[in-house]
Structure 1
Amino acid sequence: MNQHLRHIHPLAWTIILGTMFGRLVTSMSIPFLSIYLTQVLGATPTQTGFTVAVSSLAGVMISFYGGYISDIIGRKTVMLISVFCWAGVFFGFSAAQHLWVFFLVNTLNGLCRAVFEPTSRALLSDITPPDHKLLVFNLRYAAVNLGVVFGPIIGLQLGSAKSTFPFMIAGIVYIAYGLVLFLQFSVHHSSLPARSVVQAPRLREALATTGRDRVFLPVLLGTTFCVLGYGHFSSTLAQYLAMNTHFSDGRQLFSYMLSLNAVTVLVVQYPIVRTASKFPPLIPLILGNACVALSLLLFGVAGGVALLMFSVVLFTIGEVLLFTMMDMLIDRIAQPEWKGTYFGTIGFNNFGNVMAPIFGGLLLDQFGASNGPAVFIPLALTTALGLPFLITAHRRLTAREKSSSIGESAIKL
């Protein structure tokens, strides 16, 4: 292992460590935004839902072209511009005093994230030899969750649900991240791969190609409902716990649940992925959707901390099943000459993240935080709507691969 670690590019280490500290400071602040807006600014859950959702909407609108931008003007330029703009976004959060300002700044937050993060992953791929890529991307995923283990607890101690001060800390950390990246790019400029010229992806052509794929289309629809269910954890659940008088300190409880979620990812990721890789790629997604839907139902009926924490573990198992197997699934079903298009188009399932805080906010406004089942049963049912699409995709993929196998056998004969 030590020999493999020594072969990791210094810029890759910068991105991995920067990701860890970046997620640490963002998980100190962003997850508590919905609580701050409702309890300090006095926004309604619906207003809060729209304000939180706009970040994901902005990301969806630009994510299809995010990698293309860095291909044209270079990873270095895109990463440096976006990381310093992102730092400015966090300073904007810290200075905001009106709901419309939070709406604007969170829009910019989604844009910066949708440009910086795909570009940083593309750079990791550029500078890492093929036999070390799995290690590097696993290290990055572990760094994400290490940051989230401690971030919510630190944020709670800093008063993230009552103050915007933690956003200023996030801004300072991202400035430091940007400066280190600038130095590393300067020092290791000669070892970076040359930029290649690529043709701009055409959105209409991409949608037409993937839309004709009888396997991909139900996958896209099914995973949109999966992402919808996943999005309720950091939006609807946060407001529900903070507003529910049954729990003595919902803000503190939510911070512990965020940390438990990250710890559980670190513990279960390897055994789950190892086991799930032995099954057809859609089976883990089907099981993941069922786990997330069931956990949302349990959140709504939980009367004590023990059931809430069990629900977090179940939710996290579903999360790992859904998101760690997604890339393998898309790689398997994509037409070889259109793989980039398939990977770009699957990002539209993030419309689920757009709808989650809005739908959850409407339910909280309608039924209130004291009526958990009325809020969370609809959330669980809408998440489970992904199951028919995923089951259909599984059947079609099985039939396609069986037909392809028979065709290959006939050719050999």
Structure 2
Amino acid sequence: MIRIGVLLKGYHPLVWWVVAGTMLTRFTSFMVMPFMALYMKTHTHAGAGTIGFSIGCAALTSMAFGLIGGSLSDRFGRKQLMIVAMVLNVLVMIGYANARNVAFFFILSICTGLTRVLFEPASQAMLADVTSLEKRASVFAMRYWAINVGAAVGPIVGGYFGTVSTGWTFYLSAFANFLYLGIVILKFPKGTGGVSGPSKSFSFRNTFRTVTYDKALLLFLIAAFLSNIGYSQMETTLPQVMSMSMDQTTAAAVFGIVLSSNAIEVVLLQLPMSKIAKRMGLVSSMMVGQAIFAVGYVATGFSSGLWSYLLAMFIITIGEIIIFPQNSQYISELAHEDMRASYFGAWSMAQLGFFVGPWLGGLVLPHFGGCVLFTTAGIIVAVGIPFYKWSNAKHVRKEKQVMDHVSV
């Protein structure tokens, strides 16, 4: 009990509210969103390309408006943006439960992307706001761990309760977001926005100029974009690949087990792998994680049954544990203190990979099959590895120039 008390006091109370809310909402989200491709196919009979394009619209919207969403958080405050995002997400989940035509799915996918760009930059920037630099890696790791605690059982529960055939579980996701909304309203202080609150001196023009001219950030975004092309296949193209060699019910069950294994492995391996990543260093760990990703995607392409898919997912999971929390930490180090949410919002531009990936997968899969698709994805991901090193070199050079200027 003493250790728990020390742990709780070691971080700002808002950190624990975010961790708890993240765990709740991601559990119900993973009951529904991983099945979106099969759900849309069942209720609209759309083709693979149309489904991939529809799902990818969420990422395209996030990419297009990410910097704006983050900038709004820096201008008006974290709490305000989180409230707007969660109200919208409640409505979107209810909409998915009743969607029965392609056009409606496209609209809902765009709205899903908007909720992400309003919520994620504000949420992650807030964690950085209330956490000292030396503790941020641990905080982002805890947030990532919470996501995967929720995801560990979400797909299994979603598959069991018939998300693909009925979709009533979308109402559960809406309710979970409504509960988190209540927590944000009641427990988060109004001053949560750039630490002290909304900024009166904020300038959109200066923010856009600073972020878009940051070469270190742009190189990092290229690496993340290429990584996302590969990772996007796991929730969009993979279930369709499985359905080519299995009946739809079996494919949904196998996909749920494979996806849940990813989350369970993250929960079990997060702590030891985080220690290994810390010893490797921030940039080196991101490069290693992306290399492991590439190997995992190629292995997925050559998989044909449950156990081979589980092995490929295990490889991908190791890369995921190493790289994802480190990405958040790296963005927090790149960001100017008064533009934190803007930088996290700019990170959303890498979401273009989650649009290109499903769209590319939908085009390649019918003509060349899953093996060629996932092998190609692995190669694309591998191309992004050196960009992390180049990004860090630009960042170090920029920091040195600033220090030299200050010393003069």
TM-score tier (shorter): 0.7 to 0.9
Task: Give yes or no for contact 2:56–2:356 (8 Å, CA) kept in 1.
Answer: yes
Matched to 2:383, the amino acid is L
Write the distance in 2 (CA, Å) between the matches of 1:11 and 1:331: 18
What corresponds to 1:226 in structure 2?
227
Q: What aligned pairs does 1:212-361 form with structure 2 within 5 A after superposition?
A: 213=215, 216-245=217-246, 249-330=250-331, 343-361=344-362
Matched to 2:384, the amino acid is G
**Cα gap change, 1:199/1:246 in structure 2, threshold over 3 Å: closer, same or farther?**
same
Q: Deviation of residue 350 (structure 1)?
A: 1.8
Task: Give yes or no for contact 1:289–1:322 (8 Å, CA) kept in 2.
Answer: yes
Q: Deviation of residue 99 (structure 1)?
A: 0.9
Q: Deviation of residue 40 (structure 1)?
A: 3.6
Q: Deviation of residue 392 (structure 1)?
A: 5.2
Q: Deviation of residue 384 (structure 1)?
A: 2.2
Write the distance in 2 (CA, Å) between the matches of 1:112 and 1:248: 31
What corresponds to 1:150 in structure 2?
153
**Cα gap change, 1:285/1:246 in structure 2, threshold over 3 Å: closer, same or farther?**
farther
Segments of structure 2 that go 5 or more residues without pairing to the other structure are none
Write the distance in 2 (CA, Å) between the matches of 1:178 and 1:340: 20
What corresponds to 1:19 in structure 2?
22
User: Does residue 205 of the first structure (1) align with residue 209 of the second (2)?
Assistant: yes
**Cα gap change, 1:251/1:191 in structure 2, threshold over 3 Å: closer, same or farther?**
closer
Write the distance in 1 (CA, Å) between the matches of 2:400 and 2:292: 32
Task: Give yes or no for contact 2:19–2:143 (8 Å, CA) kept in 1.
Answer: yes
Q: What aligned pairs does 1:9-408 form with structure 2 within 5 A after superposition?
A: 10-127=13-130, 136-185=139-188, 194-197=196-199, 198-202=201-205, 205-206=209-210, 208-210=212-214, 213=215, 216-245=217-246, 249-330=250-331, 343-367=344-368, 371-390=369-388, 396=393
SS in 2 for 1:290: helix
**Cα gap change, 1:190/1:295 in structure 2, threshold over 3 Å: closer, same or farther?**
closer
Q: Deviation of residue 249 (structure 1)?
A: 1.1
Write the distance in 1 (CA, Å) between the matches of 2:95 and 2:55: 15
Number of residue equivalences: 398
Write the distance in 2 (CA, Å) between the matches of 1:191 and 1:346: 21
What per-residue deviation string (whole Å, max 9, x for no partner) do you get for residues 215-247 of structure 1? 554433222211211111111112211333389
Write the distance in 1 (CA, Å) between the matches of 2:230 and 2:363: 15
What per-residue deviation string (whole Å, max 9, x for no partner) do you get for residues 342-393 of structure 1? 55544322211121111111112323xxx33233222222222223544655
SS in 2 for 1:199: coil
Write the distance in 2 (CA, Å) between the matches of 1:209 and 1:247: 48
SS in 2 for 1:302: coil
Q: Deviation of residue 254 (structure 1)?
A: 0.8
Write the distance in 2 (CA, Å) between the matches of 1:393 and 1:70: 25
Write the distance in 2 (CA, Å) between the matches of 1:313 and 1:288: 13
Matched to 1:310, the amino acid is L
Which structure is higher in RCO with an 8 Å CA cutoff and minimum separation 6?
A: 2
Write the distance in 1 (CA, Å) between the matches of 2:58 and 2:395: 37
Write the distance in 1 (CA, Å) between the matches of 2:313 and 2:152: 14
Q: Deviation of residue 97 (structure 1)?
A: 0.8
What per-residue deviation string (whole Å, max 9, x for no partner) do you get for residues 28-75 of structure 1? 001100111224421111000111001111112222122332333333
Matched to 1:298, the amino acid is A
Q: Deviation of residue 146 (structure 1)?
A: 0.6
Write the distance in 2 (CA, Å) between the matches of 1:81 and 1:337: 22
What per-residue deviation string (whole Å, max 9, x for no partner) do you get for residues 174-197 of structure 1? 122222332334xx6699964241
Q: TM-score, normalised by structure 2?
A: 0.85
Write the distance in 1 (CA, Å) between the matches of 2:125 and 2:333: 20
Task: Give yes or no for contact 1:46–1:362 (8 Å, CA) kept in 2.
Answer: yes
What corresponds to 1:4 in structure 2?
6
Q: Deviation of residue 298 (structure 1)?
A: 1.3
Task: Give yes or no for contact 1:10–1:184 (8 Å, CA) kept in 2.
Answer: no
**Cα gap change, 1:342/1:253 in structure 2, threshold over 3 Å: closer, same or farther?**
same
**Cα gap change, 1:205/1:130 in structure 2, threshold over 3 Å: closer, same or farther?**
closer
Q: CA RMSD in A?
A: 3.3
Q: Deviation of residue 301 (structure 1)?
A: 1.2
Write the distance in 2 (CA, Å) between the matches of 1:295 and 1:138: 22
**Cα gap change, 1:164/1:391 in structure 2, threshold over 3 Å: closer, same or farther?**
same
Q: Which structure: larger Rg?
A: 1
Task: Give yes or no for contact 2:93–2:174 (8 Å, CA) kept in 1.
Answer: yes
**Cα gap change, 1:341/1:318 in structure 2, threshold over 3 Å: closer, same or farther?**
same
Matched to 1:26, the amino acid is S
**Cα gap change, 1:134/1:387 in structure 2, threshold over 3 Å: closer, same or farther?**
closer
